[in-house]
Amino acid sequence: MRLSKFHLATVKEVPADAEIVSHQLMLRAGMIRKLAAGLYTWSPLGLRVLRKVEAVVREEMNRAGAIEVLMPAVQPRELWEETGRWEKFGGQLLKMKDRKEAWYCFGPTHEEVVTDFARAELHSYKQLPLNFYQIQTKFRDEIRPRFGVMRAREFLMKDAYSFHLSAECLEREYWNMYNAYTRIFTRLELKFRPVQADAGAIGGSVTHEFHVLAESGEDAIAFSDGSDYAANVEKAEAMAPATGRTAPAAALERVATPTQRSIDEVSGFLGVAAAGCLKTILVRGNDGLVALCVRGDHEINEIKASKLAELPGEPVLADEAEIVKALGCKPGFIGPVGLPDSIPVIVDRDAAVLADFVCGGNQDGSHYRGANWLRDARLSRVEDLRKVVDGDASPDGKGQIRLARGIEVGHVFQLGTKYAEALNASVIDQSGKSQVLAMGCYGIGVSRIVAAAIEQNFDAAGIVWPEPMAPWRVVLCLINPKNDTNVAAVADALYADLQARGVDVALDDRGLRAGGMFADMELIGIPHRVVVSERGVAAGTFEYRARRDSESRQLSRDEVLALFA
Ligand code: ATP
Ligand code: MG
Ligand code: MG
Ligand code: MG
């Protein structure tokens, strides 16, 4: 690609409303442009990266034996009524009407559509097993789209759905996909960790999430430092009761202290947390009004602190019963229930950096966190979680639990027969009997990966792409071509040579000064830079520098070519 004929649009200033580094750098590099909340145009540069990620995903899915399909993004209401998800899916489902007043949704996921396809296409066990996948635009009306394409409303997902006669066969494919995911994230040179996850509302039993490790991640994951055990915090907590973990009174004190807040502190917190606030609950603790909860799904009662009145959502003064109802947790879990002075603070899960965790307890200290605490612990700062979890051994008995933050980039599920039953998708088995299909589903956030990769790969100058997803592998920087036409000829020849060898190369022939050109190429993260200048041409050398290196080297033409052999 000759950059004089491309469209690059880099920006020097850090965009004011971009909170995390990947969002800032994607805007500064001119990879994406916002259309509206959670909706982004991928520029030619951004799209090159997206397509590279997509290509790796596609290659590994094909290698793993999955078969590509393409399903409609717009899906009829009737199908979603069959599984009950037209109502159950909630606010993330974007619903719309056509001119005949028939309802549709923009697909947030495709279990319904693919199962409809399967019930029409599959008749006999002889056709199984099968795994259909697509790479396609999804829409989820996220409560708070943010971080650019990291949590967008419209985003690109690879979603796969497998069909089987038996649970054993499903399990085999599940691990086949798990291994394919491991290959994908390894090839993309990401630091990642597969973790056990909670099946939650989607159904099924066995499920893993793949997390790219990053401090900016919205999810907390727990892992053992002495074994392979790793889980997202919801799952880790779900496991905890089975291990008989209880908290001694001293631990409660320890847990309680860091979360104790005066109303002033809480208000102060809120002032900052306001951007993420939806609605607010204040809890009356033993020593006054000390706790705060921000949630989007409960009744509004009464505004208390003056600071709270400025919030976009309305605060609520609630008693324990209301909180229990709102959070769906056990009585005694929250509120003044035996701890002298420890009503904790919960802050909006979207305001992760400010968040504290929920705890509560019984008089005897035997139960100090309900089954929900981990759901809310997602809110927590890692330091706070660490204080709580410190010293609880790993559920597998090997090593200590550690915590990290992660970005969910992939998710695999054994769904079982849930969707096939609802939609009546079955085949004839070996004995001629009709049998409901067992299903697995496997998602990857293709567009989210682009942002997640930047969270792990950047420096002061900009993005440092892992080679497999760089927009170009190497850039030839053409300096001052007007002073010596031979320079342009040398650059053209090297460019043609590299192209002929199949190297993904860009030629920066925009006529910029060296400083500006280098800054651009560093910002957009090109892994290799080769400078073609008058001085170099005269000496028969090229100045070469890898994006991660601090020094340049002078290379001969053959040495340059050998780098990309
Ligand atoms: P999250 O917990 O981040 O909301 P999810 O669990 O709702 O994600 P899945 O239903 O598991 O998402 O979808 C598969 C993949 O799609 C996720 O692992 C993630 O990488 C990606 N994804 C989900 N929601 C978004 C979004 N709003 N923007 C970008 N990618 C997303
Ligand atoms: Mg989600
Ligand atoms: Mg998730
Ligand atoms: Mg998920």
> Which pLDDT tens digit goes with each residue over 289-329?
333 443 322 222 222 333 333 434 433 444 445 544 544 44
Ligand 1 in reach of 408 Cβ (< 6 A): yes
In this structure, which ligand is nearest to the CA of 149?
A: 1
CA of 148 to the centre of ligand 2 (A): 15
Residues 450 and 476 in one domain: no
In this structure, which ligand is nearest to the CA of 410?
A: 1
CA of 274 to the centre of ligand 2 (A): 22
CA of 242 to the centre of ligand 4 (A): 24
Measured distance CA(174)–CA(177) in Å, rounded: 5
CA of 108 to the centre of ligand 1 (A): 10
State the pLDDT at residue 363. Answer: 27
Measured distance CA(213)–CA(221) in Å, rounded: 9
Phi-psi region of 525 (alpha: psi -120 to 50; beta: other; left: phi over 0): left
Nearest-atom index, ligand 1, CA of 444: 15
User: First-to-last CA distance in the chain?
Assistant: 19
Contacts of residue 126, defined as CB under 8 A and 6 or more positions apart, other chains included, come to: none
Measured distance CA(156)–CA(152) in Å, rounded: 10
Per DSSP, the three-state class of 519 is helix
- How many domains does the chain contain in total? 3
CA of 143 to the centre of ligand 2 (A): 10
CB-CB contact of 373 with 357 (8 Å): yes
CB-CB contact of 128 with 161 (8 Å): no
Show contacts of 39-48: CB within 8 Å, 24+ apart. 39/152, 39/153, 39/154, 40/148, 40/149, 40/152, 40/154, 43/7, 43/9, 44/6, 44/7, 45/6, 45/7, 45/8, 45/471, 45/524, 46/450, 48/471, 48/472
Residue whose token pair is 């790479």: 135
The string of pLDDT tens digits covering residues 411-431 is 999 999 999 999 999 999 999
Measured distance CA(144)–CA(159) in Å, rounded: 23
User: What residues make up the domain containing 556?
Assistant: 472-563
Question: What is each CA distance from 479 to 23, 472, 535, 541, in whole angstroms?
Answer: 31, 19, 10, 14
Residues 233 and 261 in one domain: no
Nearest-atom index, ligand 1, CA of 145: 27
Measured distance CA(302)–CA(309) in Å, rounded: 10
Could you tell me the CATH number of the domain that includes residue 551? 3.40.50.800
Nearest-atom index, ligand 1, CA of 151: 28
Please list the alpha-helical segments (H only) found in 64-166.
77-83, 85-88, 111-121
CB-CB contact of 469 with 26 (8 Å): no
Residues 276 and 315 in one domain: yes
* Residue of the CA atom closest to atom 3 of ligand 1: 408
Nearest-atom index, ligand 1, CA of 407: 3
State the pLDDT at residue 223. Answer: 85
In this structure, which ligand is nearest to the CA of 109?
A: 1
Ligand 1 in reach of 151 Cβ (< 6 A): yes
- Residue whose CB lies within 8 A of the most ligand 1 atoms, among 195, 219, 408, 449, for a mutation test: 408
Per DSSP, the three-state class of 121 is helix
Ligand 1 in reach of 184 Cβ (< 6 A): no
Ligand 1 in reach of 140 Cβ (< 6 A): yes
Residues 202 and 268 in one domain: no
Low-confidence ranges of the chain (pLDDT < 50): 240-320, 323-324, 326-391
- Residue whose CB lies within 8 A of the most ligand 1 atoms, among 39, 448, 449, 450, for a mutation test: 448
The string of pLDDT tens digits covering residues 5-40 is 999 999 999 888 898 999 999 999 999 999 999 999
CB-CB contact of 22 with 452 (8 Å): yes
Ligand 1 in reach of 82 Cβ (< 6 A): no
Measured distance CA(513)–CA(542) in Å, rounded: 17
Q: Is the Cα torsion angle 8, 12, 18, 20 positive or negative in sign? A: positive
In this structure, which ligand is nearest to the CA of 152?
A: 1
* 335, part of any domain: yes
H or E element in which residue 106 lies: strand 103-106
CB-CB contact of 112 with 48 (8 Å): no
* Residue of the CA atom closest to atom 5 of ligand 1: 408
Residues 323 and 355 in one domain: yes
State the pLDDT at residue 203. Answer: 52
Q: Which residues pair with 281 in a beta bridge?
A: 293, 316
* Residue of the CA atom closest to atom 11 of ligand 1: 411
CA of 98 to the centre of ligand 2 (A): 27
Per DSSP, the three-state class of 86 is helix
State the pLDDT at residue 260. Answer: 33
Residues 127 and 268 in one domain: no
Predicted interface score ipTM higher than 0.95 = yes
Measured distance CA(409)–CA(210) in Å, rounded: 6
CA of 438 to the centre of ligand 4 (A): 20
Residues 478 and 555 in one domain: yes
Could you tell me the CATH number of the domain that includes residue 407? 3.30.930.10
State the pLDDT at residue 376. Answer: 36
* Residue of the CA atom closest to atom 8 of ligand 1: 408
Residues 192 and 266 in one domain: no
* 2, part of any domain: no
* 245, part of any domain: no
* 145, part of any domain: yes
* 19, part of any domain: no
CA angle, 380 then 382 then 386, to 5°: 105
Residues 54 and 180 in one domain: yes
* 247, part of any domain: no
Ligand 1 in reach of 448 Cβ (< 6 A): yes
Ligand 1 in reach of 155 Cβ (< 6 A): yes
Pairing state of beta strands 426-428 and 528-532?
unpaired
Q: Which residues pair with 104 in a beta bridge?
A: 76, 96
CA of 408 to the centre of ligand 3 (A): 6
In this structure, which ligand is nearest to the CA of 232?
A: 3
Q: What is the 3-state secondary structure (H, E, C) of 6-21?
A: CCCCCCCCCCCCCCCH
Neighbours of 35 (CB within 10 A): 10
* 29, part of any domain: no
Ligand 1 in reach of 445 Cβ (< 6 A): yes
Phi/psi of residue 442, nearest 5 degrees? -145, 115
Could you tell me the CATH number of the domain that includes residue 370? 3.90.960.10
Among 383, 415, 444, residue at a domain's last position: 383
In Å, the largest CA–CA distance within the chain is: 85
Q: Based on the number of CB atoms within 10 Å of its own CB, is 549 exposed (0-12), middle (13-18) or buried (19 or more)?
A: exposed
CA of 12 to the centre of ligand 2 (A): 33
Ligand 1 in reach of 157 Cβ (< 6 A): yes
CB-CB contact of 266 with 399 (8 Å): no
State the pLDDT at residue 60. Answer: 98
Residues 90 and 153 in one domain: yes
Question: What is each CA distance from 526 to 8, 20, 143, in whole angstroms?
Answer: 13, 21, 35
* 326, part of any domain: yes
Measured distance CA(282)–CA(363) in Å, rounded: 22
List the structure tokens of 234. 């919801």
CB-CB contact of 469 with 31 (8 Å): no
Measured distance CA(18)–CA(22) in Å, rounded: 9
Residues 219 and 263 in one domain: no
Ligand 1 in reach of 142 Cβ (< 6 A): yes
Ligand 1 in reach of 152 Cβ (< 6 A): yes
In this structure, which ligand is nearest to the CA of 234?
A: 3
CB-CB contact of 260 with 384 (8 Å): no
Does the pTM of the predicted model rise above 0.80? no
* Residue of the CA atom closest to atom 25 of ligand 1: 151
Measured distance CA(462)–CA(451) in Å, rounded: 13
List the structure tokens of 76. 């009829």
Phi/psi of residue 370, nearest 5 degrees? -80, 175
Residues 517 and 556 in one domain: yes
Ligand 1 in reach of 411 Cβ (< 6 A): yes
